[in-house]
Structure 1
Amino acid sequence: MTIGSAVSAASVRDDARADRSGTRAISPVIGVVLLLAVTICLVAVVTAGIATWSIDTPAPTAAFELQADGDDSTITLEHIAGDSVTVDQLSLTVRIDNTELEKQPPIPFVGAEGFRGTPDGPFNAQADSTWQTGERTTITLAGNNTPSLKSGDTVTVTLGFDGQLLTEVETTAT
């Protein structure tokens, strides 16, 4: 081997070492950055999951019976079985022949637009706010609430509890 070729071979080795040592220094940095990115993504997913998770109070389990009288324009609901229901957390939607009443009853109430007088039973704001099995409530539609209730109409009442469907009952008005 000559001196020129020995120097040339040594410089090639030094150049190769320089290239490898530069690459080796980047590898751990890339690994740390990737690990940090994965950790941040994982934390974001877990945080989003926890933020959307809520512990809702389950709706009570209860059964109701519906009666409607077209002559008196009254709708009566009776709590016939199941858990007691807190009236303050109820929402009520009344449909007559699949058309919602123009003015829905606020629950509980004493005198509301679209309704005559005050409701009987637990829908009355002056009554106990807990609706027990065996109790019934009656609301009377006013003449200015449309559609009007007549004998033979199909009446559907949907009860919601704290934003969840509690029940939907249907009857034909007598």
Structure 2
Amino acid sequence: MSRPSPTAAPDAGDRASAPLASVLLVALVVLLAAGVGTTTLAVEPPDPPPAAAFDVDADASGRIAVTYLAGDPLPVEDLSVRVRVDGSPIAHQPPVPFFAARGFESGPTGPFNSAWGGSWEPGATGAFSIAGTNTPLSEGSVVEVRIVVDGSVVATSEVRV
């Protein structure tokens, strides 16, 4: 019986399969990279939230006034407000805009009022009063107000009552 010598050349069929497998592997990698690149370039980055600065004033009667100091005009329909007293969210958050809402006295002013038209712009003040059925304010309470546009917090301001 004759054994092939260790230096014998491989069969011609073996030689063709290695380059073919390499070409197919490279083609697969190129196709995958092209697909990922196309998908990545097709997705637009989100717009940054608008920049804004506010001042908050509050008193023990439950009135909270928010003055827009500087920044981009904010569309009221995209706006929400979150209020915390002494680090905890109040029981009922103010809907924006509203006239009468659970947990609040009727008749907010400025952009919090449903009769407000347009955007909230620097210089304008909006106010609302927390009702007795909501979280009360008292002397020494710390009130934090967050202004949120399209789910992004654009400003946070706090004041001690």
TM-score scaled by structure 1? 0.80
1:11-65 CA-to-partner distances (Å, cap 9, x unmatched) read x79xx56x331122202320222012212331343255346x4332332222111
Q: 1:35 aligns with which of 16, 26, 34?
A: 26
- Aligned in 2, Cα 1:145/1:47: closer, same or farther, shift over 3 Å? farther
**For residue 46 of structure 1, what is the amino acid of its counterpart?**
G
Corresponding residue number in structure 1 for 2:85: 96
Find out whether 1:156 has 2:144 as its counterpart.
yes
Q: Identify unmatched segments of 5+ residues in structure 1.
A: 1-7
The structure with the larger Rg is: 1
Letter in 2 for 1:64: F
1:20 lines up with 2:8 in the alignment: no
Equivalent pairs counted in the alignment come to 157
In structure 2, C-alpha distance between the alignment counterparts of 1:124 and 1:43, rounded to whole Å: 52
2:54 to 41, 44, 64: 64
In the alignment, the residues of structure 1 paired with residue 20 and residue 134 of structure 2 have an alpha-carbon distance, to the nearest angstrom, of 72
**Matched residue type, 2:110:** G
CA distance in 2, matches of 1:54, 1:112: 38
Q: Which runs of 4+ in 1 moved over 4 A?
A: none
Residue 165 of structure 1 corresponds to which residue in structure 2?
A: 153
Measured in 2, the distance between the counterparts of 1:129 and 1:108 equals 12
The answer to whether the aligner puts 1:76 opposite 2:65 as a matched pair is yes
State, as a whole percentage, how many aligned pairs show the same letter.
35
Q: Secondary structure at the match of 1:23?
A: helix
Rate the CA distance shift 1:85–1:41 in 2: closer, same or farther, 3 A.
same
Aligned-partner Cα distance in 1 for 2:77–2:138:
29
Counterpart for residue 127 of structure 1: 116
Query: Any stretches of 5+ residues in structure 2 without a counterpart?
Result: none
